[in-house]
Amino acid sequence: MLLQAKHLKKYFQIQQGLFSRHLQVFAVDDVSFNIKKGETLGLVGESGCGKSTTVRLILRLLEPTGGSVFFDEQDILAMNYKRLNQMRARMQMVFQDPFGSLNPRMNIGSIIAEPLAIHKIAMGKEKAEKVSHLLEMVGLSPTCQNRYPHEFSGGQRQRIGIARALATSPELLVLDEPVSSLDVSVAAQIINLLMDLQEQFQLSYLFISHDLRMVKQLSHKIAVMYLGRIVELCPVDRLYSNPLHPYTRALLSAIPSLDPLINKTRLILKGDVPSPINPPPGCSFHPRCPQVKPECREIEPELIESFDGHSVACHCRG
């Protein structure tokens, strides 16, 4: 197993009101999953459900409140700064905003070469050759090294971000909604590039997205998050053919159909997502669930594997 996250938690302390009451935001609450070498795990859910916080805990960009993270059987959270910096060469991130993640004062060659210098991978002529090779790898010309980020389109900038992430020859790429700001056709090209790179280098991906069609194309497994918790986790084909959690069914029903002859029933959820400051007792989804039972309001369901690797946290399984 390449990556193991076990019972991850992240609670933020905030102050609210005239008398500065101390409150907790339950951003991530008991999240567990595994990623094998060469495998993609898609992490989906509404905005604010804790997806981006989860990936920042994985990379230790945030310190967790509880839980553990193991990469190649090594405890990430127990590492000192020097050891963590070495490990980060094996885990890289591609950000959501391809323009905001690139330094506008650096040319493209310098941006891609920076991790090579930081991790002392290549210097001088070897570094220049490596940068050229990385640009070709993501479908860009090596002659563009002296240009700056504002001279490229959004899709090209995301390719540059991918090239920078690949500079250290990582084993895991964390993709935080890498195509959400791109046109559909450009997004499809980026997804195809990521699939080709995964096949070529046996990369593992943690793919964060709210676009369930893109997730289906790239992922091997999908984890559905709601209010800081994973409510369903299973192989991608099983999720789309037989979703067990009511929230997952509602998400899938929102995917528009390209076939006008298909009469698709949309499942409309009532109410809003509860506040992570004051989550409801029992199942966090019960205020909006169309199948709610009395025990849903009192007992928090555990994420239990039902069959063939299909796990769901619901009292109304199936």
Full pLDDT tens readout for the chain, 318 residues: 899 999 999 999 887 666 667 788 899 999 999 999 999 999 998 888 889 999 999 999 999 999 999 999 999 999 998 899 889 899 999 988 878 889 999 999 999 999 999 888 888 889 899 999 999 999 999 999 999 999 999 899 999 999 999 999 999 999 998 888 788 889 889 999 999 999 999 999 999 988 888 888 899 999 999 999 999 999 999 998 889 999 999 988 887 776 666 666 778 788 888 888 888 899 999 999 888 888 999 999 999 887 678 999 998 875
Tokens 């595994």, residue? 34
SS3 57: helix
pLDDT at residue 199, rounded to an integer: 93
Element (DSSP H or E) covering residue 116? helix 108-118
Element (DSSP H or E) covering residue 249? helix 246-253
Q: Which CATH architecture has domain 3-90+170-312?
A: 3-Layer(aba) Sandwich (3.40)
> pTM (2 decimals)?
0.91
Among the listed residues 121, 108, 183, the one whose alpha carbon sits nearest the alpha carbon of residue 149: 108
Burial bucket for residue 178 (CB in 10 Å: 0-12, 13-18, 19+): buried
pLDDT at residue 125, rounded to an integer: 87
Query: Long-range contacts made by residues 251-255, C-beta under 8 angstroms, separation at least 24?
Result: 251/44, 251/45, 251/212, 251/224, 252/212, 255/212, 255/213
Cα–Cα dist 51/31, whole Å? 10
For the chain, which residues make up each domain, given as ranges?
A: 3-90+170-312, 106-168
**Residue 267 DSSP symbol:** -
